[in-house]
Amino acid sequence: MSSILTNSSAMVALQTLKGINSNLAQTQSEISTGKSVSSAKDNSAIWAISKVMESDVAGFETLSTNLATGQSMVSVARTATESITDDLKSIKEKVVAAQDPSADTEKLQAEVDELVSMISSKISGAQFNGINLINSGASDQTIVGSLDRDSTTGAVSANTITVTAQNLGMSSVAATGTVDVGSTDANAATVGADGKSVGAVIDKNTQQDIKFAGLAEGDTVELTLGSQKFTYKVTEADTLGTSSTEDIVVGKLADMINSAGIDGVTAIYDQANAGELLIDNADLAGSGATLEDLQMSVTLRGDGSGDLAGLDGFQVTDAAALTTIEDMINVAVDAAAAFGAVESRLESQASFVSELSDALTSGIGSLVDADMEEASARLQALQTQQQLGIQALSIANQQPQSILSLFK
């Protein structure tokens, strides 16, 4: 049956041509954009996944910048600390040289003073963008090392790397309490708010009294006897209970001194007088020890005093100078090692983030990028199909005209 009102062949040809044109438009879009999924309407699920991954890649690019900045910050602190360590070694050499009876201690002291001044400059100058990791009052810094996405909820959390500050400052924070050394002795003095040391000489077969008052949590007591140093920091537990804080500290110091076994020296916790410690330079145990005059110093430091505070007023002729400088060298070495370890970790993390970013970018490409070889071949096939479709539609549209011959 032929009809001039309904041309089924033309409708089929038209629908086929529309499908070909739609596929051709999609292929041309892939070729022009380079993506097989360029919008949510192309494939909503793949598009959503790719956008989440793209946001992660953008975050990792920022992380790489933050890690690079963190590396530079730590590198400055490490370099300065290593240099300070070398300076402290030079000071140790001067101290050792000063032990020679024929040494010119004035010149050695002048050289040490210059080294101390240089160390102070390095401490204050070791900053990156205003952040100093080695000065007094330096605070820990937190660097975001990665972004972790929960596989179940999709929630994102920051994984951080903490850079621990190393307090190599030379300042002495004021202690809360005070201490009297030999209140009846000619060398009597009181440690003031500046935390300076107070010294005395305990002659052989004599006794020296040390009285503490007003100690509080965070205060550090440094007591030097000859070449040995005893340090105790007041804790919160020391401030609690029925005994006074001073009595607890005196008891701790007495135990440390007596355990050290210094010939002829006995530390006595005077229970009759609160907060008083007696240092007896006499052979109380009858061991036959050869007694000598004993140089003593006592220092109070407040919480937060720099680890190199001992350089403030450092004297090469002090009896405990060698012990003091050796302690500071160890502190500086430990600080440099700590900075080196965290710098290495930051470098490793930066490399990981870079590789992870590349992997995610490659994954995104496999999801949404167009296969250009396939698209090119498909374009040529569709163009051929389009031409054939147009031809078929033209033939179908001519079919009703053949009916006219029936009426001639």
pLDDT of residue 184: 44
Long-range contacts for 99-102 (Cβ within 8 Å, ≥24 apart)? 99/322
Percentage helix, strand, coil for the chain under 3-state DSSP, each rounded to 5: 50, 20, 30
Residue 124 β-bridge partners:
none
Q: Are 301 and 222 in contact, with CB atoms under 8 Å apart?
A: yes
User: Do 116 and 96 fall within a single domain?
Assistant: yes
75 domain residue, yes or no: yes
Which percentage of the chain shows pLDDT scores above 90? 21
User: Do 251 and 293 fall within a single domain?
Assistant: yes
Show Cβ contacts of residue 273 under 8 Å, excluding neighbours closer than 6 positions: 211
- The domain that holds 85 is classified in CATH as 1.20.1330.10
29 domain residue, yes or no: no
Residue 185, pLDDT above cutoff 50:
no
Report the candidate in 345, 348, 360 with the shortest Cα–Cα distance to residue 59.
360
245 domain residue, yes or no: yes
Q: How confident is the model at residue 408 (pLDDT cuts 50, 70, 90)?
A: low
pTM value is 0.61
User: Do 163 and 185 fall within a single domain?
Assistant: no
Gap between the Cα atoms of 268 and 245, Å rounded: 17
Per-position DSSP letters for 70-94, written without gaps between them: HHHHHHHHHHHHHHHHHHHHHHHHH
Tens digit of each residue's pLDDT (9 = 90 or more) over 76-95: 999 999 999 999 999 999 99
Looking at the structure of the chain, the number of domains it has is 2
User: Do 286 and 217 fall within a single domain?
Assistant: yes
Tens digit of each residue's pLDDT (9 = 90 or more) over 229-264: 888 888 889 988 788 899 999 999 999 999 988 888
Residue 333 β-bridge partners:
none
Q: How confident is the model at residue 191 (pLDDT cuts 50, 70, 90)?
A: very low
Give the H or E element holding residue 45.
helix 44-98
User: In which domain, by residue range, is 355 found?
Assistant: 47-170+334-360
Tens digit of each residue's pLDDT (9 = 90 or more) over 330-372: 999 999 999 999 999 999 988 888 888 888 888 887 777 776 7
Tokens coding 283: 């052979």
Distances (CA, A) of 65 to 2, 132, 298: 75, 20, 48
Tens digit of each residue's pLDDT (9 = 90 or more) over 213-227: 888 888 888 888 887
User: Do 263 and 348 fall within a single domain?
Assistant: no
Gap between the Cα atoms of 357 and 60, Å rounded: 6
User: Do 152 and 194 fall within a single domain?
Assistant: no
269 domain residue, yes or no: yes
User: Do 202 and 288 fall within a single domain?
Assistant: yes
Q: In terms of DSSP H, where are the helices of 286-371?
A: 321-368
What's the rounded mean pLDDT across residues 390-406? 75
Gap between the Cα atoms of 309 and 148, Å rounded: 42
User: Do 210 and 133 fall within a single domain?
Assistant: no
Q: How confident is the model at residue 375 (pLDDT cuts 50, 70, 90)?
A: confident
Query: What does pLDDT average to over the chain?
Result: 82
Give the H or E element holding residue 180.
strand 178-181
Report the candidate in 249, 256, 246 with the shortest Cα–Cα distance to residue 224.
256
Gap between the Cα atoms of 344 and 357, Å rounded: 20
User: Do 77 and 140 fall within a single domain?
Assistant: yes
- Alpha carbon 355 to its chain centroid, in Å, reads 22
User: Do 292 and 354 fall within a single domain?
Assistant: no
Residue 193, pLDDT above cutoff 70:
no
Q: Which range scores top for mean pLDDT: 149-153, 230-234, 320-324, 334-338?
A: 334-338
286 domain residue, yes or no: yes
